[in-house]
Homo-oligomer: A and B are copies of this chain.
Amino acid sequence: METIIRSKTQEVIVAPDKPTVIIGERINPTGKKLLAESLVKRDMSRVRKLAESQLANGATVLDVNVGAAGVNEVEVLPMAVQAVMEITDVPLCLDSANTDALRAALQVYKGKALINSVNGEEKKLAAILPLVKEFGAAVIGLAMDDAGIPASADGRVAAAAKIVQRAEALGIPRADILIDCLALSVCSDSTAALTTLESIRRVRAELGVNMTLGASNISFGLPDRDAINEAFLAMGIAAGVNAPIVNPDTSRRIILISDLLLGRDEFAMNYMCYFREQKDKTPAA
In the complex the two chains form, is A262's CB within 8 Å of B193's CB?
yes
Complex formed: what's the CA distance from A133 to B194 in Å?
37
Q: Select one of B187, B224, B261, B263 contacting A232, CB under 8 A.
A: B261
Q: Is the C-beta of A92 less than 8 angstroms from some C-beta in chain B?
A: no
In the complex the two chains form, is B275's CB within 8 Å of A261's CB?
no
Complex formed: what's the CA distance from A197 to B262 in Å?
9
Q: How many residues of A contact B (CB 8 A)?
A: 36
Q: How many copies does the complex hold?
A: 2
A186 to chain B, nearest CB (A): 6
Q: Which of A194, A197, A231 has the most CB of B within 10 A?
A: A231
Q: Is the C-beta of A207 less than 8 angstroms from some C-beta in chain B?
A: no
Q: Is the C-beta of A158 less than 8 angstroms from some C-beta in chain B?
A: no
In the complex the two chains form, is A268's CB within 8 Å of B193's CB?
no
Complex formed: what's the CA distance from A272 to B275 in Å?
31
Q: Is the C-beta of A271 less than 8 angstroms from some C-beta in chain B?
A: yes
Q: Is the C-beta of A83 less than 8 angstroms from some C-beta in chain B?
A: no
Stretch in A58-66, A108-116, A168-176, A252-260 touching the partner? A252-260
Q: Is the C-beta of A217 less than 8 angstroms from some C-beta in chain B?
A: no
Given contacts A186-B260, A194-B263, contact A268 B222 (CB under 8 A): yes
| Residue in B closest to A183 when the chains form the complex, CB atoms | B261
Taking CB atoms, residues of chain B closer than 8 Å to A264 are 190
Taking CB atoms, residues of chain B closer than 8 Å to A10 are none
Question: What are 11 A-B pairs with beta-carbon distances under 8 A?
Answer: A186-B268, A190-B263, A190-B266, A193-B261, A193-B262, A197-B261, A223-B275, A227-B253, A228-B257, A231-B258, A234-B235
Give A residues with C-beta under 8 Å from B.
186-187, 190-191, 193-194, 197, 218, 222-224, 227-228, 230-232, 234-235, 238-239, 253-254, 257-258, 260-268, 271-272, 275
